[in-house]
Amino acid sequence: MSGSADHRPVASVRVPARVDFAGGWTDVRYFAEREGGLVLNAAIDRYVEGHAEWSANRFHLEYTLDLPSGSHLGTSSAVDVAWLALTYGIIGKRPSAEELAEGAYRLEKLLGIEGGKQDGYAAAFGGVNLLRFGKADEPAIVERLSVPEARLAALEARCVLCYLGLEEAADRVHTLVWQRYREGDPDVAAALRDLRDSVVPARDALLAGDLPELARLMSFNRDTVRRLHPAAVTPRMDALFQAGEAAGAIGAKACGGGGGGCLLFIAGDAGPDAIKQALKQLGADIVDFRFDRQGPTF
């Protein structure tokens, strides 16, 4: 934040999107409050950038986002975190990352969005994190992971992220899954527990640089999501998963809640090039990225 005699304060922010490796869905309050949720995710170098200032008795606010709509990479929460940071910045206050993440979650609830908390925490904290979720009115516990640079770079070189667009059934599927869980469906509850319980092994594989095990757990998450609702993994998603695996991927999953958006693959020893080509042939767009190493700026 800065200012001068002729200008009221100026605020600028840069907030990252994220990919997630394991535990998606379990950060939503219905499950997290009852049984505790876990998510493993990582911020990436695709950002919401924002700028706000008062000048000549006019207030100017703008954002830019270098990702397509509906990517399922946490961009709506990243926008909320950016907006809150700018709002605080323009009045000369600097909230903590936790305050921004929790504020973004409360803002979404006010807007009637029944999502989870992982996206706001990834945007506000950056880096690679294991996140533990409980009651909706309590902050998440953030375990910041110090992944050795060589291991992070090795994973980065093997990752392929593609965007396939939105599938019409995504919101309906989410509503049905949480309705079944609240009504006590044992199959949905068991699948959510399996998603949560995959997170610590995925963290351990990531820290150890065991990419085959991390990839296996990503595919386990993908197939466990099918147990929540058959439409959570759509035929088009399956076609891309199959094409990627035929081209050398050793694991893959949808980002976020699935039902479209982005898919994340880990390539085998042959590398990512053939996978990218196979996905392009099926009409998916490749989203180039690196893991964010600098964190958000407020």
pLDDT in tens, 107-152: 988 887 778 999 999 999 999 999 999 999 999 999 999 999 999 9
Cα–Cα dist 103/232, whole Å: 29
Contact assessment for residue 283 and residue 243, using Cβ atoms and an 8 Å cutoff: no
pLDDT by residue (tens digit) across 67-81? 877 899 999 999 999
pLDDT at 171: 75
Percent of the chain exceeding pLDDT 90 equals 79
- Looking at domain 7-147, its CATH class is alpha beta
Q: Return the structure tokens found at 60.
A: 């100017």
Cα–Cα dist 162/252, whole Å: 11
Phi, psi of 167 (to 5 degrees): -105, 140
Helices 211-228 and 149-158: angle between axes, nearest 10 degrees: 60
Say if residue 4's pLDDT is above 50: no
Beta-carbon count within 10 A of 225 CB: 24
Specify whether the backbone of 146 is left (phi greater than 0), alpha (psi in -120 to 50) or beta: beta
pLDDT by residue (tens digit) across 190-207? 999 999 999 999 999 999
pLDDT by residue (tens digit) across 221-254? 999 999 999 889 999 999 999 999 999 999 999 9
Where residue 168 falls among pLDDT bands split at 50, 70, 90?
A: low
- Looking at domain 150-286, its CATH class is alpha beta
pLDDT at 5: 41
pLDDT at 8: 60
Q: How many CA atoms lie within 13 A of 182 on its CB side?
A: 9
Contact assessment for residue 40 and residue 143, using Cβ atoms and an 8 Å cutoff: no
pTM of the model: 0.93
Where residue 169 falls among pLDDT bands split at 50, 70, 90?
A: low
Domain ranges in the chain? Answer: 7-147, 150-286
In this structure, are strands 249-254 and 260-267 parallel, antiparallel, or unpaired?
Answer: antiparallel
- Radius of gyration, alpha carbons of the chain: 19
Q: What is the mean predicted confidence (pLDDT) over 23-51?
A: 97
Q: Side chain identity at 154, as an amino acid letter?
A: A
